[in-house]
Structure 1
């Protein structure tokens, strides 16, 4: 099946599908099935990480899909304990082996882990891995403005993306206002709030869904798309994979977008980046 997902251009010049599949908390023994189902639906962008411990399952699905490598966009991430000047290379090589790939399209520093104070060294190591062709684009995840500023002090290479917690109750307007003018695209993890608050209680959301004959998650995913955010909801159910993919046949109007913007509460449901020092 040919993918119909719109693409955005990274500052590296490569293109990234704006909608993908996240595999956080997908068990290793289910990962192959879930990714196979997603690819059959039409997904071509898979967001993974070493710490998810399911790269082998993802890799098996990719290998058996028969889809050309240049039609896929695969992300994985460097975990906190693998940061520093020397550790990223073996960490990436291990991820590539598990995924069965010669390169990943995007490699991210998973958390800044400021108490470890290694993310600048890690970034410089990622630059080298990119230059060697093991990675096409490099970026960060869960970085706050001060972390981005520090990278800029030590490197002229601008992250292609910053993947952060972003959903209707936490819209990251301030952070986006800092990074996007610099050429850093925003990726959303937990785009539906990770079921940690009731979507039906968000003021106006049910009315928007009824207006467009769509589900609440479909409205939220469409909002992300129209905001210019890269999004990859996680599910293990094929029917939800299909539902999440069916967000390109309607458009939110200006009043819908204003109502969505008004839902912002600055409410995190996950860890603050300055506290993620595992």
Structure 2
């Protein structure tokens, strides 16, 4: 088993620095169990993934104490208003079979300013009630984060965005760092687009696969990567990244692959109104 280190979020709770992503995995229990057996203690789900219940089942079957595992979910429909968001949080808890979640995010900025702020107030209320230990957002640009601050509300503990050498979202990253917001990196493995010569060169040099190089890049930038895999061997491989480091020069080579927004491999809806 490979233990992963942690980072402390603004609310004082420890978050493991690598999490298992379960997007588009409707049968995610085997991957979750494999991950928990080899040292993962962080699983990233969402209501729209339709697998909250399976994550909960895997946690219970693992035999690992609930308090030792960091569980995230996200609300994707916020247009219904404050009470609708509170109801969605309760439904997520019911799906998981838990009485609290470690982190709950607004999945994207879709819905407009008023809906975003009402949803954010609902998350803060659920946090105050003890249902959520920490709250955050996903796919938020600087303007969306600034609208929270302008409303006089507590800033998110986390912003989860698409992040990898091809799409580095540096303006968002800089803002989050300057305001103590932890950056989680989704799609850190660029959906298997491993053909870049620089990535191949570093993989051969270190005797590591391209996925491990990408995860290491993310960690050394201080991000929390959320690699996804349904293959137990790859799940184990993706956390086996603590025995080597990339040099400063190697990090700079990967940094030089940034293509801005055109480098995104997912929806990356950070510029919505």
TM-score (norm 1): 0.93
Q: Return structure 1 stretches of 4+ with deviation > 6 angstroms.
A: none
Q: Which stretch of structure 1 is more off in the superposition, 108-117 or 14-23?
A: 108-117
Deviation at 1:114, TM superposition (A): 4.3
1:264 is matched with 258
Deviation at 1:226, TM superposition (A): 0.6
CA distance in 1, matches of 2:229, 2:97: 23
CA distance in 1, matches of 2:105, 2:60: 23
CA distance in 1, matches of 2:199, 2:190: 14
CA distance in 1, matches of 2:99, 2:117: 25
Matched, 1:72 2:66: no
CA contact (8 A) 2:140 2:161 kept: yes
2:9 is matched with 10
CA distance in 1, matches of 2:203, 2:268: 31
Deviation at 1:174, TM superposition (A): 1.4
- Alignment partner for residue 145 of structure 1, among 131, 142, 147? 142
2:131 is matched with 134
CA distance in 1, matches of 2:225, 2:187: 9
CA distance in 1, matches of 2:219, 2:109: 26
TM-score (norm 2): 0.95
CA distance in 1, matches of 2:78, 2:147: 20
- Work out the number of aligned pairs and report it: 271
CA contact (8 A) 1:110 1:141 kept: yes
CA distance in 1, matches of 2:171, 2:271: 19
Determine helix, strand or coil for the equivalent of 1:111.
Answer: coil
Deviation at 1:273, TM superposition (A): 2.0
Deviation at 1:275, TM superposition (A): 6.6
Determine helix, strand or coil for the equivalent of 1:34.
Answer: helix
Q: Which stretch of structure 1 is more off in the superposition, 268-277 or 235-244?
A: 268-277
> Alpha-carbon deviations, 1:181-227, whole Å to 9, x = none?
101011111111123xx3222x4111111111101110000110111
Give structure 1 stretches of 5+ with no counterpart.
Answer: none
Q: 1:37-52 maps to which residues of 2 (within 5 A)?
A: 37-52=34-49
1:230 is matched with 224
Q: 1:178-257 maps to which residues of 2 (within 5 A)?
A: 178-195=175-192, 198-201=193-196, 203-257=197-251
